[in-house]
Amino acid sequence: MVARAGASKLGCLFYLMFVAAVVYVSIPLGEAYFRYAEYKDAMKQELRFRANLSNDKIRSHLQVQADSLGLPEEAGDVTVSRSGNEISVEAEYDEMIKVFGLAKTIHFQPHASDTY
């Protein structure tokens, strides 16, 4: 039997379409997790270098950071708590990811703690 010309190209087309769909879905999801990681890192930095500030100032700095990252407004509602020489911050927010006309809500809970 002789192989049909172009038969392998059709398989390659399906593979490329699959890869494109995976990339299309991964980009918005990856962006949401990247913003979460940056916000969590900002929390750690805030505690490391500004733990001696008042809770209100720490909260204010993190609200500005959440806004600059383009996070939802509730991400700026930060809870700052102190116990002995330990300080911790946490927040909760939801991000909606839209792909192929479908919407999925992802819940994030960034937190950080440090001693001073």
Amino acid at site 57: K
**63 neighbors 79 (Cβ within 8 angstroms):** no
Structure tokens at 27: 């980009």
Label the pairing between strands 79-83 and 102-108: unpaired
The residue ranges of every structural domain in the chain are 7-115
Separation between Cα atoms, residue 103 and residue 114, nearest integer Å: 36
**92 neighbors 109 (Cβ within 8 angstroms):** yes
Q: Give tens-digit pLDDT for 61-102.
A: 999 999 999 999 999 999 999 998 999 999 999 999 988 888
User: Is pLDDT of 46 > 90?
Assistant: yes
